[in-house]
Structure 1
Amino acid sequence: MTVHVLILCTHNSARSVLSEGMLNHLAARLGRDVRAHSAGSAPSGRLNPFALQALNAAGIDTAACRSKSWDEFTGPDAPPLSIVITVCDSAAAESCPVFHGGSGSNGAPPVKVHWGYPDPSNAEGGDAGKARAFELARQAIGYRMLQLLALPLETMDRAALQAALTAIGRS
């Protein structure tokens, strides 16, 4: 059974898009039945070009990427979410979306965790500085996604999954 992971950030244009791309790419490479989705509480409707550049430079196809509302994942046709990860950086005073659950497997709400990353869009140094910040964010996100994929997701109970995901967020 596919493990569906929703990654949220306010505008769904940078960090959540990097996360979706990395998790789907790594899951496919590792042969894991995990599917990432990303969304935002106030989607911008556009993807940050530096996010697309960082993913493309890593060999990740971005053709299907788009900025979308988290409302797409709350209806009856939404995939059964197991995990919801917010990636907005609270320290940067962004408003993080809150997922109200109820669509997890067997009707249980998904496990929720926060993995904050600084907004690479705010990097100094012009385009070169932003490109470097996006690449560093992609690498940091990839490291956590590899840790997530190392978990026995299909057999973990909610409490163990919550503890493991929280620990990954602290690393």
Structure 2
Amino acid sequence: MTRPYNILFLCTGNSARSILGEALATTLSHGRFIGYSAGSQPKLFVHPIALKLAREMGYPLELLRSKTWDEFGRQDAPHMDFIITVCDSAAGEECPYWPGHPATAHWGFMDPAAVDGSEHDMWDAFRKVEMGLRNRIELLIDLPVEKLDHLQIKDELHAIHHRFNSE
């Protein structure tokens, strides 16, 4: 196996969707991918339901924190191979410069933390986002990334998302 691929999930608040992406990419890939997450305007806390779901996945909770995406634009930051925005507002913002020109895509999901309802409704919303991300990440993990060029990878990232949006 080559080195692990680094994947950064971006959202505005970095408290729910991007956190789930980080945990899922790392736990599902068994070392092939290392997930990271960040936000353009981080809330500085991780949503309690996202923490519980990450714990269920076996992801080390001490690695989870809400942080700014500026951390990943620094020279000493891990090199990112993939950057996925998971909320529409982050996708529309001007992102920092990402060294190495990683493959990018938008996999938009509604914000489960914004659900105004019962605890059951919130859990349903979080589970829906978790399953949507899980389905896409599993397809990404199955790609022969090492055999694809940059443009092919970008096309595949977009195709993965559109596969589920057209169903």
Tell me the TM-score normalised to structure 1 length. Answer: 0.86
Aligned-residue CA RMSD (Å) = 1.6
Structure 1 contact 3–154 (Cα < 8 Å) conserved: no
Q: Which moved more, 1:17-26 or 1:135-144?
A: 135-144
1:142 and 1:81 map into 2 onto residues whose CA distance is 20
Other-structure match for 1:83: 82
3-state SS in 2 of match to 1:46? coil
Structure 1, unaligned runs of 5 or more: none
Q: Pick from 91, 99, 106: which aligns with 1:103?
A: 99
Structure 1 contact 55–138 (Cα < 8 Å) conserved: no
Offset of 1:10 from its aligned partner? 0.4
Structure 2, unaligned runs of 5 or more: none
Other-structure match for 1:156: 148
Other-structure match for 2:68: 69
2:71 and 2:47 map into 1 onto residues whose CA distance is 21
Structure 2 contact 82–102 (Cα < 8 Å) conserved: yes
Percent sequence identity is 35
Q: Which moved more, 1:60-69 or 1:144-153?
A: 60-69
Other-structure match for 2:51: 52
Instruction: Give a deviation string over 1:117-145, Cα, whole Å, max 9, x none.
Output: 01112224311110121112111111111
Structure 2 contact 10–90 (Cα < 8 Å) conserved: no
Offset of 1:102 from its aligned partner? 4.1
Offset of 1:82 from its aligned partner? 1.1
Q: Which moved more, 1:55-64 or 1:7-16?
A: 55-64
1:161 and 1:95 map into 2 onto residues whose CA distance is 21
Other-structure match for 1:15: 17
Other-structure match for 1:43: 42
Offset of 1:69 from its aligned partner? 0.8
Runs (4+) of structure 1 exceeding 6 A deviation are none
